[in-house]
Amino acid sequence: MEALRIIGGTPLSGTVGVLGAKNAVLKHLVATLLAPGTHVLTNVPDIVDVRLMCEVLEHVGARCTADGTTRTVTVPETLAAEAPLDIVRKMRASILVLGALLTRVGSVRIALPGGDDFGTRPIDMHLDGLKRLGAEFET
């Protein structure tokens, strides 16, 4: 077994701030669509994907505001049934709004997601799960 031995130096001390994980916070943002009202998420990184997801939420009727690392999402009783095609094509995680909008609205129009091209990331599992719950798809 290999070992790593550290010699000398002074002990480390202090604190390190760690922001929330992008992949977790994108799902949390989408989950706010499931319940009308005001939702406060803390420790949210201010990154492009978070800003794009907030744009998606706003397009369907929610209000998403930022104050430092806090995002407040206010979700109305009624949501739009169409996600913004231009944003969905930019971000892979935007497919997540499909399930939330189907639950709240009953039918949805959404483009196939885009995003960074660094390998295959099929959405078949999402679609298969929704089909098993009774959803039908047209292309």
Active-site residues: which are they?
Answer: 116
DSSP state of 128: H
DSSP state of 119: S
Closest C-alpha to 126, from 102, 104, 91, 90: 102
Residue with tokens 């499909």: 98
Q: Give the β-pairing of 63-67 and 37-41.
A: unpaired
Both structure tokens of 27: 């799902």
Closest C-alpha to 20, from 34, 41, 51, 40: 41
The amino acid sitting at 102 is L
Both structure tokens of 131: 């089909």
